Chains A and B, each alone.
Chain A
Amino acid sequence: MTATTDTAAAARTRLTRRFAALRAAGRGGLVTFTTAGDPDFETSFEILSGLPGCGVDVIELGMPFSDPMADGPAIQASSLRALKAGMTLPRTLEMVRRFRARDAETPIVLMGYYNPIYSYGVDRFVSDAVAAGVDGLIIVDLPPEEDAELCRPALDAGLHWIRLATPTTDDRRLPTVLTNTSGFVYYVSIMGITGTRSASAEAVQAAVSRLKRHTDLPVAVGFGIKTPQQAAEVARVADAAVVGSAIVERIAAGLDDAGRPRPGLAGEVLTFVRTLAEGVHAARRG
């Protein structure tokens, strides 16, 4: 077995191990999203490094893109802040490498859009991501119809391919979406962009039940979850709750007029993340 395959095998188990542990403990997990390099590399890394200690179960790290079509104003702004501060795809991978050097257990999933990866080169990206310690990918603008692009190469290299399912993904289409999905399914609880509307607890429960009829994979639910209470409600019925915009908004709130991070920004963000984790962890699954 080559070294690459060893790393890949470890990567595959890191995410599945984490969800298995949550299931064994009878609780839902917290998945957080922040954009790599927002508001700058060092502050972003400080936040990233602090997430596991705050109780975050799975980390989604955004790869900034100039044209984030599926994102609302908060994440659009975070992406542009990161790019303005000089963030690039190679530096995002570097950030994961640095994180991995001190944390071998917390799964990291990279989330973003296809063009920066296509520009970097698919094969090179996949092998560099595995080597950096990335566990999975969520690429918003690659539906199953485009699986030959990156999904299959990523799966072959041992990365998880996490697909979004949405309220428009009906029972007829769901099997198509679930094919080649691994690690977990990310249920987008609303029709719309990130950080805008919120779904009702009943709607989330119904959707999770529907997904569970089609798959044994863990289901994480996101889009529009802003408070520890909402996160807890979701974690009661799903395997995990995803919070992104609400965290990113706290990063924006911690910037001075020139857009520089004020002292203590990372600490404030992590304090908020801790309240989310406490809410989620207190919510036993029924």
Chain B
Amino acid sequence: MDTPNTYRAGPDEQGHFGIYGGRFVAETLMPLILEVEQAYAAARRDPSFQEEIDHFARHYVGRPSPLYFAERLTDHLGGARIYFKRDELNHTGAHKINNCLGQILLARRMGKTRIIAETGAGQHGVATATVCARFDLPCVIYMGEEDIERQKPNVFRMKLLGAEVVPVTSGSRTLKDAMNEALRDWVANVESTFYIIGTVAGPHPYPAMVRDFQAVIGEEVRSQMMAAEGRLPDTLVACIGGGSNAMGLFYPFLDDKAVRIIGVEAAGHGLESGRHAASLTGGRPGVLHGNRTYLLQNDDGQILEAHSISAGLDYPGIGPEHAWLKDTGRVEYVSATDREALDAFQLCSRLEGIIPALEPAHALAHVRKLAPTLPRDHLLVMNMCGRGDKDVFAVAEALGVHL
């Protein structure tokens, strides 16, 4: 594949990143998808829209989040200087709120009166329920029955925030089925309802829109690293389920050719076990949920269930821009197993006093392997995209501890 002049120009007008992306939705949704695209384009041209986002990002979400030098982890691993981008300190405990804030402000501009969302780990559901409470819009969250079992604290949080949580019992009862059910709701309530998609996937313009709302992560890292070290980082590492925290960190650096960029997928029980969630490493291109991207699927094009200890990474697809960045070779994609993530989860808790979510624990698992191989002046940034409070029950169970 030819090297493009810029990696930041996508998508094209049809929503394509190379062959990926697009708008593969039912006709009922198409007029609304086009309306969202127009409304988002208009909002981007309106300075008051960004001012509104900035205001709430600062005073409600708590941005900018710190760029923290993880000194003890750095000493422990004995290689690169490791920085955490502390998006787990955001209001609601993860990066998800960056996107929800942008989308609900757009929904309000469009005059929508009802919000729906899907959630896996519950972080996006909590973030959506939060902004719905703040902006006084009724909120329905679709969540797989299995995830509801794994993420009870977040389910209760959403209910406290006034959202209705609908258990999804179809299919594998996880994130992909929650997304199917949210799409079914949207088709039936298309005039009143805005669907806040939680990751950089779905029909155009969602992948680009969610990326834009998350890009604040990488933009802050640029200026914060310049302030801390006087230069750009050498390596970026982020975990990938749908890929929104990673796109947010990576996007502002895509054209800085000297910056090495690594995405870490969930390898579940191991890639060779077939029980994993690594769409880029273990899948092939297909069409699902409105976009073409890498998918876990069988020979007949039927979508397979993903497996990961992290409910937030448990999705058989990935954002289309990541699919394109993989094919172009700009970003390296690797994976970490459940076991490696659990080990990293505990290590980080003890060394840094930060209990990470299981999702960034996957990124950390790769940092553990990578950092010792790098020189001591190498600057590595890992996106600490969520905190682990929600995961303590699941981790205790995995470690055989009875609470």
Contacts and interface: CB of A to CB of B under 8 A. Distances in A.
Interface in A33-75: 65-70, 72-73
Interface in B286-308: 286-290, 292, 295, 297, 299-303
B176 A67 contact: yes
B171 A145 contact: no
Interface stretch (A6-14, A113-121, A255-263, A268-276): A113-121
Contacts of B24: 114, 141-143, 146
A65 B26 contact: no
Contacts of B302: 65-66, 83, 116
The A interface is mostly helix, strand or loop, or mixed, namely loop
A153 interface: no
A30 interface: no
A203 to B, nearest CB: 15
Nearest to B188: A192
A67 B180 contact: yes
A123 to B, nearest CB: 15
A67 B171 contact: yes
A141 B30 contact: no
A173 B31 CA distance: 8
Contacts of B188: 190-193, 196-197
B25 interface: yes
B273 interface: no
A145 B21 CA distance: 12
Nearest to A170: B31
Nearest to A113: B287
Contacts of B288: 67, 115
A188 interface: yes
Nearest to B300: A88
B20 to A, nearest CB: 12
A193 B297 CA distance: 24
A156 to B, nearest CB: 21
Interface string B4-25: 0000000000100000001111
Contacts of A177: 27
Nearest to A92: B300
Contacts of B133: none
Given A70-B184, A120-B301, A146-B22, A115 B295 contact: yes
A193 B188 CA distance: 7
Interface string B27-40: 11111100000000
Interface residues of A, number: 45
Given A67-B176, A146-B24, A168 B31 contact: yes
A4 interface: no
Contacts of A142: 24
B301 A117 contact: yes
A69 B26 contact: yes
Contact of B23 (A80, A143, A191): A143
Nearest to A72: B184
A199 interface: no
B30, B190, B295: most-surrounded residue (chain A CB, <10 A): B30
A220 interface: no
Contacts of B170: 73, 76
Interface stretch (A129-137, A158-166, A211-219, A240-248): A158-166
Interface string B47-80: 0000000000000000000000000000000000
B394 interface: no
A157 interface: no
B183 interface: yes
A164, A166, A177: most-surrounded residue (chain B CB, <10 A): A166
Given A69-B184, A114-B24, A146-B24, A168 B32 contact: yes
A89 interface: yes
A83 B301 CA distance: 11
Interface in B145-197: 170-171, 176-177, 180, 183-184, 187-191
A190 B303 CA distance: 28
Contacts of A113: 287
A22 interface: no
B395 to A, nearest CB: 30
A65, A120, A192: most-surrounded residue (chain B CB, <10 A): A192
A69 B183 contact: yes
B180 A114 contact: no
A145 B23 contact: yes
Contacts of B23: 143, 145-146
A119 B286 contact: yes
Given A119-B299, A191-B187, 16 more contacts: A66-B303, A67-B177, A69-B183, A116-B302, A118-B292, A119-B301, A120-B300, A143-B23, A145-B22, A165-B27, A166-B28, A188-B27, A191-B188, A192-B28, A192-B187, A193-B188
16 contacts: A67-B171, A69-B289, A70-B26, A70-B28, A83-B302, A115-B286, A120-B301, A164-B27, A168-B30, A168-B32, A188-B27, A191-B28, A192-B188, A193-B184, A193-B188, A196-B188
Interface of A: 65-70, 72-73, 76, 80, 83, 88-89, 113-120, 140-146, 163-170, 173, 177, 188, 190-193, 196-197
